Structure 1
Amino acid sequence: MIGRRIGWLWLTLLVSFGSQAELRLNLLDDGLSRSEHVASQQLLDEALNALPPSLKQRLGRTVSVRWRQLPAEVYGRAGRWSGIELNAALLPALSEGRSAHIQTSRTHGNQRRELLATLLHEITHLYDRAQLWSPANKHLLQQCHRHAQTLGLVGLPEQCRGQTARRFTLSDDPVLLDLAGWPQRVARRGVRAQANHQVARSPDSYELSNPREFIAVNMEYFLLDPSYACRRPSLARYLREHFAWSPATSTCSDELAYLNAGRDFSRQPVGRIDPARVYQVDYLLAEANNELASRWGHSMLRLVICAPGRPLGPDCRLDLQAHLVLSYRAFVDDVQLSSWRGLTGSYPSRLFVLPLQQVIEEYTKAELRSLASVPLKLNRPQLEQLVTRAMEQHWSYDGDYWFVSNNCAVETLKLLRSGTQHPRLQALDSLTPIGLLDSLYARDLADRRVLDNEAEALRLGYRFDSFRDRYHAMFSVLREHLAVPQRKVEDWLNLAAEQRRPWFAPADLRTSAALLLLEQAALRRQLLLAQDELKHRYLSNRTEHDPALHTADGALQQILANSGFLSRPAELLNGGYGLPQPGEWQQLERQSQARQEHLLLLSDALDKEVRTLLAPSRLAELNASEANLKQLGEHVRALHKASGGLQLP
């Protein structure tokens, strides 16, 4: 009985440890002068005042702080004796009031701010370690003790000791790890990424070392930088909720800046998005075709954004010109995607922001793939947090693209997890775009009903059909009015351009319009074939002495180097971290506009020079297809004029 009472007393003291006390910072004098003591105590008081009340209560102990000789590059550290050591070489300037005017190369500006940040950093480490006695663990310990009493045991049973040995710390919280850049690996449940790829726009690269340093560095900025909540809103929200407290913050803009990676180099690429103006987020699936890299589809997210003046509601789905697509793609540093390099992870994976209309054209016209746009079942906070998180990733993420283990589906799922924190997403796993959509259906996270009626889905923009069906319809017009001998549209498109040309003259207006659409398809097909041919020649001969290759290679390298900012916009800005703030937008617009103008010139030069790399037969076919289009266009205009401007049936 006495043993049980001792066990209960021990446990009661343990779980209540720190509940009454509050963190105190005890300065060890060690022969400090009066001015040194006063300046040091002021620094400690300022650090205490900056900390969240709940942190001070939970840590609940006295922490000793002393000045000690440390390496020059070290401002301070948590000592082995669990106190904090500060670099004594910095004390004279602090005591003389000079440290606030000594600028440093570090991120907080002056030496005094760096000392203050160091204190907060090291206190965060102590708090992180002390989270074993968090409220969650106290509850667990109480349960374990009740279990021990039931069994008539003294102290804690063995299984409870095992449970309490588990670390319940801030830095290994799964939610934080997702936001920090160590997400759970898809198809490897519980296994976290080894490397952090949120490398761009970082306030301090030291945060990428490990999760413990990440939380300590971010606490510095959370507590000291009023703009932190605007620059890293997802992390700021997490820390506010964890501590049930918020420091003083700046007023944040409703809009978030992004770089539109559309191919129209004549327009300003900097855009702004207000998450509150996003009506829905759709899972956008580019359906499969026969290409190796495309047979499992492609995962994207569609932001259904309301046009200016449009109230938030279903009619926003009609504002296609305002909609954006979030697409994780391999940033290709050669002419086109190499399957082998995609398998070996040689491509950077980045989050592109693209206009919906361009994405529709790319897939339905050029690649002849249909698009399915399925609304995700998210509540309003989840939706807006997802949009915000996507913009954070757009500015910070630079990963590795792998066809199998880190492809578009995997990247999209990781964004959905970290952006929404939806509980039904946490255990979801899929390595393929089609599989991911099926999993979203199975967990009632996507509304499959919108695709039930194909005609309605096309009319309302839940589906965008491949132009393949339209080409078949146009080819039926040719067979009906011209009696061409080919039986399938593919056979017609496989003909040489000069073999198709004799059929233009006898065609009436309606048939000529059908021929024009098919000729556009034939040209797109030739461009894709030329691109593939160019890729193989470029990759296999880039080290050989080939004057034509060398000339085009220079243009290619320039355009690729100059277009890289569209997928990694952080390179346009010097300084700052996280989401660009309004004060940085002017620089962003100026830099991006200059790049766009240069790209416009380069693209014209590239179009001419790249053709020198094509085989003569391919170049001849490409030129013949372009000549066909020109001839057909003139033929249609002449027939239209002769008909008195009648509309086509």
Structure 2
Amino acid sequence: MSWSRTWLLGLALLASTCSQAELRLQLTDAELSPAERQASQQLLQDALAALPPRLKQQLDRRVSVRWRNLPAQVYGRAGRFSGIELNSALLPGLSDGSRTTTLTSRPHGTVRRELLATVLHEITHLYDRAQLWPQVERQLQHQCRQREQSLGAVGLPDYCRGQTARRFTLSDDPLLLDLAGWPQQVGRRGTREQDNHQVARSPDSYELSNPREFLAVNMEYFLLDPSYACRRPSLARYMSAHFAWTPANQQPCAEGLAYLNAGRDFARQPLGSIDPQRVYQVDYLLAEANDALASRWGHSMLRLVICAPGRPLGPDCRLDLQEHLVLSYRAFVGDVQLSSWDGLTGAYPSRLFVLPLEQVIEEYTKVELRSLASVPLRLNRVQLEHLVTRAVEQHWSYDGDYWFLSNNCAVETLKLLRSGTQHPRLHALDSIMPNGLLDTLLARGLADRSVLADDAEALRLGYRFDSFRDRYQAMFSVLQAQLPIEQTQVEDWLALPAEQRQPWFARADLRTSAALLLLEQAALRRQLLLAQDELKRRYLSGRDGVDPTLNKAGGALHQILANSGFLSRPAELLEGGYGLPQRAEWQRLETQSQARQQQLRQLSDNLDQEVRTLLEPARLAEMQATETNLTQLGAHLRALHKSGGGLQLP
């Protein structure tokens, strides 16, 4: 045999040996009984069979496994050099026929399942510590340099330094950290938040202690729970992509993702279902700023353009406004007092509300007199559907802290966009202001500015919803054309006492009376807003129990606020389970949410009857005078119409 043939044969044998090299688990206890040894060996074989092939190949080593006396709460641990140790107190339950005994305090249930999960958990720690990806470090450094050159973003070198300082293990992968609940801090690229706020619907609270344990706990469920991909689809996709492998035991997922509609219509069943494949587009929805502290930079939201049943995906879906939903991170206020100081110190929970678009349009354009801009995001189909799925996951799991200046609606929305779409252009993007975030999205080509170019067309197609302030000003111009009033702006007219507006009614023709009616309706909405603010202060001053009437109405209000929390934190309706609710849990969701909604409806009816007793006499008198004006204007309009006048509104 020639030297070259010998060399080629040796190389082939070496390649064959390397291709077969993989993780080995070796039981090292010498004093086990035959039954204990057999059960232990079977446990290790089952663990190896459950692991991804890539993990076993890359973790090419012999790992010793021993039974040891460990604290009762510790089922196992992996030392850096000593292999894996299992709690010997569980060995009898594994080997004497009682291995199916249920452990009610443990997430996996039985002794055998818990021990199998423990072995997989500790192997994941070994894999995570192995530092197997030096090529990843070189690749990311190269990508950072390329991104810096292509985007030229201010502050991007800080982001790159944050990346190159990583350990480059699986548990500190930026994408995993985003999905796990340790997102990038605002204004500090590469620095991660310290606390995990994805606290609801967790399979095991131990996962929240740090990213290493999060990875290990989720590997248990990824490998053992057939419903994992249905309960935590974003993480399941991540795991499958990393290992280029999917467990064979996965069950099919039901169509649609459950959510609770936080709309104010307490007569409807709040439980709904979103099918990501029925979402045509996702828009960045911006409510323009006003003078209030909490909204002087606008409010960031996402609009889901959902197609009506039977309609194919396409531009016509934008006409199905009754189907569209809004994702809105808001401070959940469990009391009537909205304190600016509390907002600055993070005293309010930050939660993801799912609201009907029609309600959002009304509350901003009619009540708060703020316009809305709805700008489509430039996402491909995969990014869009993953974003919708991620949003529903956050709806069920997230309960953060709302900070007006550092973790507000813009910051929360940006974090959702990052983790949901995994769009590379979002990684180095940063903004703490809603209007600034929209400007940045437009500047990076991530949103379509062209839809706002023509105001009339944008209004017609639903890319813009204008404030009723402009309409009220148009009505006010009708008044100015006929009546010798002194006011020049509609705000000045609406600020007049109702009794000073009333004498002008008799002098108005049909057209002007119609304009007066619309403005008087606006005046009543304004009074309701002022009454709402007054109610907060009045209610707080009456909570000490001096006035039983105040207590009755205030109690109803307090109960509404306390009992409506489930609409933004729906996990409290379910016991057990984790992640997205599955079909088996929907029946309980329907029952529980309907019962809560009926209770809210009753409380709302009680509050409607009693709430005016909480108002100051002057405010109550002004509201009643405005309502009297509306009655008089209605009668005046009917009389004019009966006399034959035509009605033409501008």
Is TM (by shorter chain) over 0.5?
yes
Work out the CA distance in 1 between the residues paired with 2:137 and 2:62. 21
Q: What does the per-residue CA deviation read over 1:586-605, in whole Å, with 9 as the maximum and x for residues that have no partner?
A: 21111111111110110121
SS across alignment from 2:588:
helix
- Structure 1 counterpart of 2:177: 177
1:18 and 1:61 in contact (8 A); partners too: no
Match for residue 526 of structure 1?
A: 527
**What CA distance in whole angstroms lies between the structure 2 residues aligned with 1:139 and 1:415?**
26
**1:180–1:214 CA contact under 8 A, matched in 2:** yes
Distance across 1 between alignment mates of 2:228 and 2:301 = 29
Using a 3 Å threshold, how does the CA distance of structure 1 residues 586 and 119 change in structure 2: closer, same or farther? same
1:358-390 per-position Cα deviation (integer Å, ceiling 9, x unaligned): 000011011110000100000000000000000
Tell whether the 8 Å contact from 1:509 to 1:648 is kept in structure 2 after alignment. Answer: no
TM-fit CA distance, 1:485: 3.4
Compute the displacement of 1:350 (Å).
0.3
Match of 1:350 in 2: 351
Equivalent residue for 2:607? 606
Secondary structure at the counterpart of residue 171 of structure 2: coil
Structure 2 residue aligned with 1:224: 224
Q: Which range moved further: 279-288 or 475-484? A: 475-484
Whole-angstrom distance in 2 between the partners of 1:507 and 1:165:
74
* In 2, Cα distance between equivalents of 1:575 and 1:201: 8
Distance in 1 separating the partners of 2:209 and 2:232? 19
TM-score (norm 2): 0.90
Aligned residue for 2:101? 101
Closer/same/farther in 2, CA of residues 164 and 577 from structure 1, 3 Å limit:
closer
SS in 1 for 2:172: coil
2:478 aligned partner: 477
1:295 counterpart = 2:296: yes
Match of 1:419 in 2: 420
Residue deviations 1:449-501 (CA, integer Å, cap 9, x gap)? 11111111111111000000100111111222333333221121011112222
Change (3 A) 1:640 1:337: farther
Q: Are residues 637 and 129 of structure 1, via their aligned partners in 2, closer, same or farther at CA, if it must alter by over 3 Å?
A: farther
Q: Distance in 1 between matches of 2:317 and 2:276?
A: 14
Do the aligned partners of 2:336 and 2:558 also contact (CA within 8 Å) in 1? no
Inter-CA distance 385–164: structure 2 relative to 1 (3 Å threshold): closer
SS of aligned partner of 2:131: helix
1:202-241 aligned within 5 A: 202-241=202-241
Deviation at 1:168, TM superposition (A): 1.6
Unaligned runs of 5+ in 2: 1-15, 142-162
Q: Which residue of 2 aligns with 1:458?
A: 459
Report the Cα distance in structure 2 between the residues aligned to 1:137 and 1:434, rounded to whole angstroms: 36
The structural deviation recorded for 1:550 is 3.1
Contact 1:471 1:518 in 2 (8 A): yes
CA distance in structure 2 between the partners assigned to 1:97 and 1:643 by the alignment: 94
Q: Rate the CA distance shift 1:133–1:457 in 2: closer, same or farther, 3 A.
A: closer
Partner residue, 2:316: 315
**What is the letter of the counterpart of residue 584 of structure 1?**
E
Name the SS for the 1:419 alignment partner: helix
Q: Give 1:585 shift.
A: 1.2
Q: Classify the secondary structure of the residue corresponding to 1:304.
A: strand
Q: CA deviation at 1:134?
A: 5.9
Aligned residue type for 2:175: V
RMSD, aligned α-carbons: 2.3
Cα drift, residue 636 of structure 1: 3.6
For the residue of structure 2 that corresponds to 1:288, the secondary structure is coil
User: Is it true that 1:58 corresponds to 2:53 in the alignment?
Assistant: no
Q: Secondary structure at the match of 1:55?
A: helix
Q: Name the counterpart of 2:504.
A: 503
**TM-score normalised by length of structure 1:** 0.90
Partner SS, residue 377 of structure 1: coil
State the number of aligned residues: 613
- Aligned residue type for 1:405: S
Deviations 1:223-259 (A, max 9, x none): 0001000010000000000000001211112210111
CA separation of 1:307 and 1:266: change in aligned 2, threshold 3 A: same
Preserved contact between residue 17 and residue 60 of structure 1 (Cα < 8 Å)? no
User: Alignment identity in percent?
Assistant: 79
Q: Which residue does the alignment assign to 2:555? A: 554
- Give the structure 2 partner of residue 398 of structure 1: 399
**C-alpha deviation, 1:607, in angstroms:** 2.5
Q: Which residue of 2 aligns with 1:434?
A: 435
Contact map agreement 1:301 1:327 (CA 8 A) in 2 = yes
Distance 1:534 1:140, change over 3 A: closer
2:594, 2:169 → 1: CA distance? 46
How far has the Cα of 1:517 moved from its partner?
1.2
Give 5+ residue unaligned stretches, structure 1: 1-15, 142-162
Measure how far apart 1:137 and its partner are: 6.0
Name the residue aligned to 2:131. 131
Contact preservation (8 Å) 1:260, 1:271: yes
1:611–1:252 Cα change, 3 Å? same
CA contact (8 A) 2:353 2:567 kept: yes
| Aligned-partner SS, 1:100 | coil
Residue type of the partner of 2:378?
K
Q: What residue is the counterpart of 1:3 in the other structure? A: none
- Opposite residue 258 of structure 2, the aligned amino acid is A
Amino acid at match of 1:226: P
